[in-house]
Amino acid sequence: MKQFENVNVELSGNSYFDGAVTSRTLRFADGSKKTLGFMLPGTYTFGTDSAELMEITSGEVNVKLPDSHEWISVQGGESFNVPAKSSFDIEVKSITDYCCSYL
């Protein structure tokens, strides 16, 4: 099990798509930020300000990345990168936990 140490957790959560996607923000001493959350089954479109590394810790999703017409399958233990100032589509197949690192 992966764990983070010496972090500050924002008490206020983030909620998207009527609560189908939620997260909590973690802030690290070096100034970096991650969010930990879960997604319920459904299809969603997210926009990015900064580049992101999206780690799927459990569950199964299909992702359509910017400038691609193809969906890729990503399962627990796998990850994908999303460029800054873009958007991506994600189809959540089962309840999915994730960790998003802002690069």
**Domains within the chain, CATH numbers bracketed:** 7-102 (2.60.120.10)
What is the per-residue pLDDT across 60-99, written as a single tens digit (0 to 9) for each?
A: 999 999 989 999 999 999 999 999 999 999 999 999 999 9
For the range 30-37, what are the long-range contacts, defined as Cβ-Cβ under 8 Å and sequence gap of 24 or more?
32/101, 32/102, 33/102, 34/4, 34/99, 34/100, 34/101, 34/102, 35/99, 35/100, 36/97, 36/98, 36/99, 36/100, 37/97, 37/98, 37/100
pLDDT score of 51: 97
pLDDT score of 2: 81
Q: What is the mean pLDDT of the chain?
A: 96
Decide: pTM greater than 0.75.
yes
